[in-house]
Amino acid sequence: MNIRLYNARILDLDASHTVRSGEVRVLDGKIAEVIYDGEIKPEDRIFDREIDCKGNLLMRGFNDAHTHSAMTFLRSLADDKPTPKWLEEDIFPHEAKLTDDDIADFQRLAIMEYVSGGIVSAMDMYLRPDVTAEVFANAGMRAVIVSGLNDFTSSLSELEVQYDRLNSCSPLISFKAGIHAEYTTSRDKLEKLSAFVHDKKTGIYCHASETESEVGGCIERYGLPPVKFLASLGLFDFGGGIYHGVHVTDEEIEILKEKEVYTVINSASNCKLASGIAPLKKLYDKGIKLAIGTDGPASNNCLDMFREMYLTAVLCKLREKDAACIDASVILDMAVKGGAGCMGLEDSGLISAGLPADIIMIDMNRPNMQPVNNIVKNLVYSGQTANIKMTMVSGRILYYNGEYDLGFDPEEVIGRCGERTNKIVSG
């Protein structure tokens, strides 16, 4: 589809976070032209759709670098419990009852939340990766699927098949090797995965150093904390990423730097589960690659990158006891460019010709975005999902002014999700 977005402010996440006025033209899923006010316009063409942005802001969409989308059914079901009890008594038993159709609908519910909040891609780790791929592709949203290899619900042979199949099934879908965590995956399986990683020359992704008890357990088993142990097996020889990283040691930070491994910060989840505050300033100062993820709806409980940005920024200040320790621009970059880099997506943070048209429109006329003293700081410190007017992925408008275009009926999905949850919980 050929779309013209005009009368807009355009934010580029370059070194200066430049904001200029102009228009963006989209053709066949790509940004075809960006024309700033005062420039000579090329010859007009006939557009399938023209949208007057009325001075609102166009920018790259958010890339959610860690989530478990189908856990929407667990939202607010098992809150206010210690993490081990939460997992063993509520999460794992209910997940064991899920069917493919359950997972599909719970993911559709998450997709609605993603696009209405300006999220254009999700790095999803959950059961049944093939279901995830089909649901996201049909909805028109990007997904980078991470295998949750463990000793209970998946196997290395399945991962190998999925790696080849899901990396070629759709332009919107890609697949990364990963484990749920060190504590759910045997050493034998990890060593076999390392051989796969070296054969494919690919990084791996996993939960790591999320809680003190996790770190203590790994030291008890292997004499090493999780990141150092996994690195000793060669699992990070080709990069990848860790989720949470709350309790990484200084030595492990050096490993993350050397191996070019991303650390994905999950601030809301870490707070709610009392896991701790990640050492963001130390990671940033060491040059660690950084991204932001919401984590799943069972531990967050919402899929809101605005809230994640705010919490990530202010918790860093609180931890360091320094209000100037990190700038809002760093946080915004993590939510857009950092997430894309972690996921292996093409996203420089720029609204630039030739790039995929993964664009969001921010309503600058809502009270919480006024006055406009600094757009970047407004986005991080006062932005809300209510500010999202449009979410476009690969040139397709999936959400606009409260309306969805995802290939399914939102009301029907919401109704089915309620019925499915009641059946799972009461069964």
pLDDT tens sequence across 287-300: 999 999 999 999 99
236 in Cβ contact with 197 (< 8 Å): no
Entry field: residues in the chain: 427
pLDDT the model gives residue 324:
97
pLDDT in tens, 22-75: 999 999 999 999 999 989 877 777 899 999 999 999 999 999 999 999 999 999
Q: Answer yes or no: is 417 within a domain.
A: no
User: CA-CA distance, 51 to 62, in Å (whole number)?
Assistant: 21
CB atoms within 10 A of CB 374: 14
Distances (CA, A) of 70 to 85, 254, 362: 20, 34, 27
The verdict on 356 and 396 lying in the same domain is: yes
> What one-character DSSP code corresponds to residue 366?
S
The verdict on 101 and 229 lying in the same domain is: yes
Mean pLDDT for the chain?
A: 96
Q: What does 4-22 look like in DSSP terms, one character per residue?
A: EEEEEEEE--STT--EEEE
CA dihedral 294, 207, 251, 224 (to 10 degrees): 160
CA dihedral 327, 332, 337, 343 (to 10 degrees): 110
The verdict on 120 and 252 lying in the same domain is: yes
How much is the average pLDDT of 227-249?
Answer: 98
The verdict on 304 and 396 lying in the same domain is: no
CATH code assigned at 298: 3.20.20.140
Distances (CA, A) of 342 to 133, 195, 240, 295, 365: 19, 22, 7, 15, 33
pLDDT the model gives residue 81:
80
Q: Answer yes or no: is 421 within a domain.
A: no
The verdict on 115 and 32 lying in the same domain is: no
Domain end among 274, 309, 343: 343
Residue 36: both structure tokens together: 């700033």
How much is the average pLDDT of 225-234?
Answer: 98
The residue with greater pLDDT, 79 or 185, is 185
Minimum mean pLDDT among 44-48, 241-245, 338-342, 413-417: which range?
A: 44-48
Residue 150: both structure tokens together: 């463990």
Q: Tally the domains of the chain.
A: 2
CA dihedral 345, 130, 396, 368 (to 10 degrees): -70
Q: Answer yes or no: is 368 within a domain.
A: yes
The verdict on 201 and 252 lying in the same domain is: yes
Q: Answer yes or no: is 410 within a domain.
A: no
The verdict on 98 and 245 lying in the same domain is: yes
Query: What phi, psi does 104 have (nearest 5°)?
Result: -60, -45
Domain end among 319, 343, 367: 343
pLDDT in tens, 327-349: 999 999 999 999 999 999 987 89
pLDDT the model gives residue 113:
98
pLDDT the model gives residue 224:
98
pLDDT the model gives residue 44:
74
The pTM is what? 0.97
With a cut of 80, say whether residue 427 has pLDDT above it.
no
How much is the average pLDDT of 163-191?
Answer: 97
User: CA-CA distance, 5 to 100, in Å (whole number)?
Assistant: 38
pLDDT the model gives residue 40:
81
Residue 44: both structure tokens together: 């007009």
Token pair 């049944």 in the structure block, residue? 128
Q: Answer yes or no: is 180 within a domain.
A: yes
The verdict on 296 and 393 lying in the same domain is: no
- What share of the chain has pLDDT > 70, as a percent? 100
CATH code assigned at 38: 2.30.40.10
With a cut of 90, say whether residue 1 has pLDDT above it.
no
The verdict on 271 and 367 lying in the same domain is: no
The verdict on 115 and 163 lying in the same domain is: yes
CB atoms within 10 A of CB 254: 14
With a cut of 90, say whether residue 80 has pLDDT above it.
no
Q: Answer yes or no: is 414 within a domain.
A: no
Q: Which domain holds residue 173?
A: 62-343
pLDDT the model gives residue 92:
86
Beta strand ranges found along 55-117 (DSSP E): 57-60, 62-67
The verdict on 265 and 395 lying in the same domain is: no
Minimum mean pLDDT among 107-111, 151-155, 212-216, 326-330: which range?
A: 151-155
With a cut of 90, say whether residue 367 has pLDDT above it.
yes
Q: Answer yes or no: is 236 within a domain.
A: yes
Domain end among 327, 343, 359: 343
pLDDT the model gives residue 88:
84
The verdict on 134 and 204 lying in the same domain is: yes
> Which residues make Cβ contacts (< 8 Å) with residue 10, sequence separation at least 6?
19, 20, 21, 22, 24, 34, 36, 57, 58, 59, 351
Q: Answer yes or no: is 412 within a domain.
A: no
Q: Are strands 57-60 and 359-362 parallel, antiparallel or unpaired?
A: antiparallel
pLDDT in tens, 113-144: 999 999 999 999 999 999 999 999 999 999 99
